[in-house]
Amino acid sequence: MRTKRVGIAAFVGALALTVAACGSSDSASEETATEEVVATEGGSTYVAIISKGFQHQFWQAVQKGAEDTAGSLGVDFTYEGPENESQVDKQMEQLEAALAKNPSALCFAALDSKAAIPLLEKAKAAGIPVIAFDSGVDSDIPITTAATDSVASAALAADKMVELIGGKGKVAIVAHDQTSRTGIDRVAGFKDQIESKYPDVTIVDIQYGGGDQLKSTDITKAIIAAHPDIKGIFGANEGSAIGVLNGVKESGNVGKITIIGYDSGKAQKDAIKAGEMAGAITQDPIGIGTKCIEAAVAATKGESVAPFIDTGFKWYDKTNIDNPDIAAVLYD
């Protein structure tokens, strides 16, 4: 039986339900992400979970879903991630250390869709089933991926953007990265939808801020300076969206530039309620954590698992943010 590190587990568990880490400073994340969260339920099945980090509330909500499901199924799990979503090397170190513990199954959200493949090949050789979540890898090693359809959800964001800017004008994208499947697919989903359906809308810039709010803020201000007549900006994850919001505020363009975000978190919800952000796409991070554990347990039992587990997405704005079906998949 694995011992329970009460201090870290309790602290990070509390973060999953509070606002403390929502766009908090990276220093708060550094205090938690370098430790592993260990939950002990006394079971013989051990699932190692490597996320993209603790930088955003999204990952804390994924952890909450995994924790609740592991408890109900009587399995042990560890949950780790780097300090921020640019630390691919750190994530590879954590992945290698997790495999050295010979887990019953591995759940993995890749920061780089290619970098982890050699280590995942080791997992396969060792008979450790791999479940991808949020961001898949460019390999058939994972037996399934529990994730949002990033292409379809970003296409919906594009549809909403065009509707809100009146069907024509200049828009831009601020995304988190060009290496993870979510970064690649959300940009592609938004871009392809605009280019294929809306000839009067032009994407004038696509920039990447690593999901970091400060970097994304600076990027946004630079885009606005270069294109003062821009009508809308899409922030492709939580940190990007808050960076866009801050950049629009700091450049004095609230109400002039339509902002569409992705994910949830208190800052986005408050901005939407205040009319500063038009709306956002929400995933179901708790559901992702749940499906990861369920798929991992099924795999250890030799049961078949669907090759893709679509955890769904919804559009929310100030008109529906308090509706029960929307509120159920938003997180603080």
pLDDT digits (tens, 9 = 90+) for 93-128: 999 999 999 999 999 999 999 999 999 999 999 999
pLDDT of residue 57: 87
pLDDT at 142 over 90: yes
pLDDT at 3 over 70: no
Q: Which residue has the tokens 């699932």?
A: 47
Q: Could you tell me if 194 and 222 are in contact, meaning their C-beta atoms sit under 8 angstroms apart? A: no
Q: How far is CA 264 from CA 270, 282, 285, 331, in A?
A: 10, 6, 10, 6
Q: How far is CA 265 from CA 38, 158, 216, 282, in A?
A: 24, 21, 17, 10
* Domains, the chain, ordered by start: 6-147+284-312 (3.40.50.2300), 150-282 (3.40.50.2300)
Average pLDDT of the chain is: 89
Average pLDDT in the 320-332 region? 94
User: Mapping DSSP to helix (H, G, I), strand (E, B) and coil, where does residue 210 land?
Assistant: coil
pLDDT of residue 44: 85
Q: How confident is the model at residue 43 (pLDDT cuts 50, 70, 90)?
A: low
- Flag the least confident range among 12-21, 41-50, 217-226, 288-297: 12-21
In angstroms, the CA 23 to CA 268 distance is 10
In angstroms, the CA 198 to CA 168 distance is 8
pLDDT of residue 31: 38
In angstroms, the CA 36 to CA 81 distance is 8
pLDDT of residue 319: 98
pLDDT of residue 55: 74
With a pLDDT cut of 70, the percent of the chain lying above it is 87
Q: Could you tell me if 219 and 246 are in contact, meaning their C-beta atoms sit under 8 angstroms apart? A: no
φ/ψ (deg, to 5) at 118: -55, -40
Question: What are 159-199's pLDDT values in tens digits?
Answer: 999 999 999 999 999 999 999 999 999 999 999 999 999 99
Report pTM: 0.84
In angstroms, the CA 177 to CA 182 distance is 8
Helix (H) or strand (E) run with residue 208 in it:
strand 201-208
Average pLDDT in the 9-33 region? 37
pLDDT at 295 over 50: yes
